[in-house]
Homo-oligomer: A and B are copies of this chain.
Amino acid sequence: MIASASPLIPITSVLPQPLPSVLALTKIEISLGGGRYQNCLKEIRSRACDVEDTEKGIKIEKKDWQKLHLHIASFNNFPTAAGLASSAAGFACLVFSLAKLMNLKENQSQLSAIARQGSGSACRSLFGGFVKWILGKEGNGSDSLAVQLVDEEHWNDLVIIIAVVSSRQKETSSTTGMRESVETSLLLQHRAKEVVPKRIVQMEEAIQNHDFSSFAQLTCADSNQFHAVCLDTSPPIFYMNDTSHRIISYVERWNRSVGSPQVAYTFDAGPNAVLIARNRKIATELLQRLLFFFPPNSETDLNSYVLGDKSILRDAGIDGMKDIEALPLPPEINNISAQKYSGDVNYFICTRPGGGPVLLSDDSKALLNPKSGLPKEA
């Protein structure tokens, strides 16, 4: 899912989808006492409605929701706190699930405004396809919400490959970083006032027209400008590292050698590269290039090095380490800069723009026991 948004994040972000399950399993009990959770819970409770399920013999009146307690189980298949917006998926899933449970009448955009109070980016995860985050004008943020531009079928050529460069906890949380940028960056105001509003309009056009060249140019330039503002913050924030820089340089060189963009890159609040290929053929060539420069460590299994849609790996003709070793030098690269960086990427995720959150009707997929309400034993 791709979204366009505020000056404090790159115009294009790929956000993990909430898993297609209202409730899922975790082994760690965490507190929901924090302000971000409590804001969401308060907003949802205040909008709860009567619920009646005659089949199951359940009847809950609106006023009773204030007194009821819930077991919430959650499972995340994305690296946490690595700058891949894992919390966005979590909050979107939480808000969506509770809204279904408590029979809220609000539409997805109205729910997105609630999710935004848990994690800014979460408002965009309430939809699939391409999503726009509208900042709104109210001081309290009540009109800051997401709308879907087009669904995931509109531009279904695109293929996404994420290079997870480091799963270590990042040093600056994105929330702290944003606050410090607002307080200290002299370039942020200019970006917010002059640059982003124009780019948002251009980006919507590019998406409507399947104009990959404009889409890629805007995506890359805006990712770089977001990180420029991070650098202009005091103390400066470095989300990208040498591996991120290398990936950008390879993509830029490839795009220039072809004469038009084949791959777009964008980096959120972390070193991981989100690479968007214009189609499946280019994605296959991209994966070959990535594996040429960043082969797995000798102790890493290929199966756990390329995750997600493994069919791209098969299209690339790669079945094992010997295929990676046999990959040719990309033609746009001269021999001098053909150094390989084994171990600098933890793993790759192959995926595509996907759908939004889904309510499952199949109890067997639930992670809470429908009788006891407690987490199922793993």
Report which A residues bind B (CB closer than 8 A).
Answer: 171, 186-187, 190-191, 194-195, 217, 220-221, 224-225, 227-229, 231-236, 238, 241-242, 245, 248-249, 252, 256
Contact = CB atoms under 8 A, between A and B. Distances in A.
Contacts of A238: 245, 248-249
A125 to B, nearest CB: 28
11 contacts: A186-B194, A187-B190, A220-B234, A227-B231, A228-B228, A228-B232, A231-B231, A235-B248, A235-B256, A236-B248, A241-B245
A212 to B, nearest CB: 17
A209 to B, nearest CB: 21
Nearest to A225: B232
B236 A224 contact: yes
Nearest to A223: B236
Contacts of A234: 217, 220-221, 224
Given A186-B195, A190-B190, A248-B236, A231 B224 contact: yes
Contact of A252 (B229, B232, B235, B249): B235
Number of copies: 2
Contacts of A171: 249
A140 B224 CA distance: 32
Contacts of A236: 224, 248, 252
Nearest to A171: B249
Most buried by B among A171, A221, A236, A241: A236
A232 B224 contact: yes
B245 A187 contact: no
Contacts of A191: 186-187
Contact of A228 (B220, B229, B235, B249): B229
Contacts of A249: 171, 235, 238
A173 to B, nearest CB: 16
Contacts of A190: 186-187, 190, 194
Contacts of A229: 228
A245 B235 CA distance: 11
A170 B234 CA distance: 27
Contacts of A228: 187, 228-229, 231-232
Nearest to A198: B186
A362 B311 CA distance: 76
A224 B238 CA distance: 11
Contacts of A217: 234
A245 to B, nearest CB: 5
A224 to B, nearest CB: 5
A256 B235 CA distance: 10
A236 B231 CA distance: 13
In the A-B complex, the 8 residue pairs with the closest CB atoms: A228-B228, A190-B190, A235-B252, A228-B232, A228-B231, A238-B245, A224-B236, A242-B242
Contact of A241 (B221, B233, B242, B248): B242
